[in-house]
Amino acid sequence: MVAKGDTTGRTARIGDCGEVASKRRSLRAICLTGLLAAALAAAALMLAASSASAHNTDYCSVVRETGMSFDFTDECHEHDHCWQAIRDRAGTIKNDRRARNDCDFAFMDAMYAECLDRWSGWDPRRQSCMLAADVRFNGVHYCWWCN
């Protein structure tokens, strides 16, 4: 498919991450890597969700809450408690999507704050920390089997 107004004859590809010109392979690779990381985190959460007790704190399930550039132990613990409060009130987290979104986005904000507090400026560990936060957020936020 040739993009409208494109006189070069290059093709454009449309995927889940938006329109990416074929010459931008590195951008596509980054996009696919991010999607793969989110899918792996979601799969790990599925395994943990099926075995975890409803009243247990499993932190970030089978995905580590600590790494070389991050420590999300407190943030994962708080997110577990937030989801449990919804389960106690509504039966499952699926029954109150607005409250679940509030929990998930508070989780993301707390992880980002941890990254920003821990690393300064353009330190590459800050980006690594934020990528780890994105993976964990996507794992819980897009978990359709979590209840």
Query: How many structural domains are present in the chain?
Result: 1
Q: Is residue 87 part of a domain?
A: yes
Number of Cβ atoms within 10 Å of the Cβ of 40:
13
Q: Is residue 56 part of a domain?
A: yes
Domain that holds residue 115: 12-141
Q: Is residue 36 part of a domain?
A: yes
CATH number at residue 103: 1.20.90
From the list 137, 124, 146, 144, the residue with the least C-alpha distance to 72 is 137
Looking at the DSSP assignment, which residues form a beta bridge with residue 71? 66
Q: Is residue 146 part of a domain?
A: no
Q: Is residue 123 part of a domain?
A: yes
For residues 139 and 126, give the distance between their C-alpha atoms in angstroms, rounded to a whole number.
20
Q: Is residue 107 part of a domain?
A: yes
Residue 14 in 3-state DSSP? strand
Q: Is residue 75 part of a domain?
A: yes
- What tens digit of pLDDT does each residue of 84-141 get? 999 999 999 999 999 999 999 999 999 999 999 999 988 999 999 999 999 999 999 9
For residues 76 and 58, give the distance between their C-alpha atoms in angstroms, rounded to a whole number.
8
Q: Is residue 17 part of a domain?
A: yes
Whether the full predicted model's pTM is greater than 0.85, yes or no, is no
Number of Cβ atoms within 10 Å of the Cβ of 54:
10
